[in-house]
Amino acid sequence: MKALLVAVNAKYIHSNLAVYSLAKYAGRFSENMELLEYTINQQSDSVVRDIYTRKPDVLFFSCYVWNIEYVRDVARELHKLLPKVPIWFGGPEVSYDGERIFNENPYLSGVMTGEGEETFFALMDYYVNGGALLDIPGIFYRCEGKICAAPPRIPKSMDEIPFVYDDLEKFHNRIIYYESSRGCPFRCSYCMSSIDKTVRFRSISRVLSEIQFFLDNRVPQVKFIDRTFNIQKERTLTILKYLAEHDNGVTNFHFEVAADLITKEETAVMRELRPGCVQLEIGVQSTNCETLAEIDRSMDFNKVRDIVRELKQKNNIHIHLDLIAGLPYETLDSFIRSFQDVYALRPHELQLGFLKILKGAKMYEKAEEYGIVYGDKAPYEVLCTRWLSFDDIIRLKDVEELLEVYYNSGLFVYTLNVLEQYFESAFAMYDSMAQYYRIHRLAGISHSRISRYEILKDFIEESVPDSAQLKQVLLFDLYLRENLKTRPDFSLKHPEYKAMTAALYRKYAPAFTGQFHIEPFHIDICYFMETGKLREKNCFILFDYSRRHPVLKQAHFTEIWEDL
């Protein structure tokens, strides 16, 4: 008997921790199973061919909101080719509405619900050694033409969940996902994690041992997938101190945290960490108190603001903040206020997401009451609500695209800070940029990175009365991140500068083994960095690309000026 355990990831660099955990837990049947990973960017017919040629006796698919349509297409075609092969779905997208899943996918033999390790082990034992499906908790299955539901499975101790990374070779150039707890103490109505009302922790001794394994192997990045990493203060502080004491200078750890729960002790430890050792993802979602109360979300934004500002002071921790558009009682005006509140914190990344109506979440049950209209197909994204029209959604989508390109890329940090001063607000700036993109038919096109600079330069010329100095800031932003072979059109062009730059290159080249660049400017860069204000000054800036900031990714720069 041969079982195939199939994962379809969003990108190649991702890995599916769930299927590796299932396979490891059912390791006794390793000779009877094979784990396969694909991506949604692959042609589905090629995936069908590959699975078919492996001649499986049973198929298991891992299902999420972002891959379910793809998985359905692949499974449906495989059923045509292999009609006698049982097909099982598992994962959060199919765990909470088994009857609907069966009705929509008549080729299915069964659905694994909830936590899967022990259930998958039992199913492998069933297919290898025989027995009865009715004896297996945690499944829906077909029985004499009917849909039968087994009792739910009792969750296991986290220490019984296997560590899957003994062999890191298969995860080369891929993100490592790690789970030290399951469940969430919060009840956010839009989130699937609120369904699991118990929080279970892996023992701290095991967590530290496994963290050390990652450190010893110099893994580039480890993403903790715990819903709220910092819900136990002593545990959180123990892990952070361990990272501080055992840092290998390479590995980055990603945590999703509730910022208003971060303690002074935790902040003190994090402020002393190596730049790039830790990054934090913080879900703000909204700063509208009425909205937060309606979605059962408890958050003190004033404390969030204070914590984020304090953690940002040393620029050693990458801060990612989230907002969700389309929540109850959130009008366009109130969402713009939420945007402004969060944007003012200047996180390194600000994700403007849109509400998704997930089966099993409380929001799904109340969608009609809120007048929420959403897509029939995954990811079931909001189209409009009682408070937000589809026109509003379109407008926010356009802003989201420009926010991603210009803000979250980190390529235009100083230009955007100055440019914002010419608009009523940061939102108004991105809204105006979106209109510019529409008018000039630039939207929906995959522009090169240098084209993004050129487009922003054109937008500046149209929006700013005297744009010469701001274009110099744009040039500074460009060279902080890009070591170009060809200077852009908006750089300073003067025969004298060419000769002076060449002389400076001859002088400084012997001191550099890595790549560097020297560029003339007409603004006082050092004064600008200290004050945020612009004033004229002729100078040269040397950009050292061998010394990039671990968090900001910017080249180290030095002002040089000498009589030549």
Question: pLDDT per residue over 515-527, tens digit each?
Answer: 999 999 999 999 9
How far apart, in whole angstroms, are the C-alpha atoms of residue 11 and residue 42?
A: 10
How far apart, in whole angstroms, are the C-alpha atoms of residue 496 and residue 477?
A: 24
How far apart, in whole angstroms, are the C-alpha atoms of residue 430 and residue 434?
A: 6
Confidence (pLDDT) at 564: 39
Confidence (pLDDT) at 191: 87
123: closest CA among 178, 176, 60, 79? 60
Three-state DSSP class for 283?
strand
Cis peptide bond prior to 275, omega within 30° of 0: no
Indicate the residue type of 60.
F
Tokens 């008018």: give the residue: 439
Q: Where does 379-425 have alpha helices with state H?
A: 390-402, 413-419
Indicate the residue type of 141.
Y
Confidence (pLDDT) at 495: 73
What pTM, to 2 d.p., does this model score? 0.93
Task: Copy the structure tokens of residue 484.
Answer: 């170009």
Indicate the residue type of 163.
F
Q: Is the Cβ–Cβ distance between 384 and 390 less than 8 Å?
A: yes
Task: Copy the structure tokens of residue 410.
Answer: 């980190």
How many other C-beta atoms are found inside a 10 Å radius of the C-beta of residue 234? Answer: 10
Q: Is the dihedral of CA 421, 427, 433, 435 positive or negative?
A: negative
Q: Is the Cβ–Cβ distance between 383 and 371 less than 8 Å?
A: no
Tokens 């033999």: give the residue: 109
Q: Would you give the DSSP letter of residue 438? A: H
Angle at 20 between CA 15 and CA 22, to 5 degrees: 140
For the chain, list residues with pLDDT below 70. 194-197, 562-564
How many other C-beta atoms are found inside a 10 Å radius of the C-beta of residue 238? Answer: 14
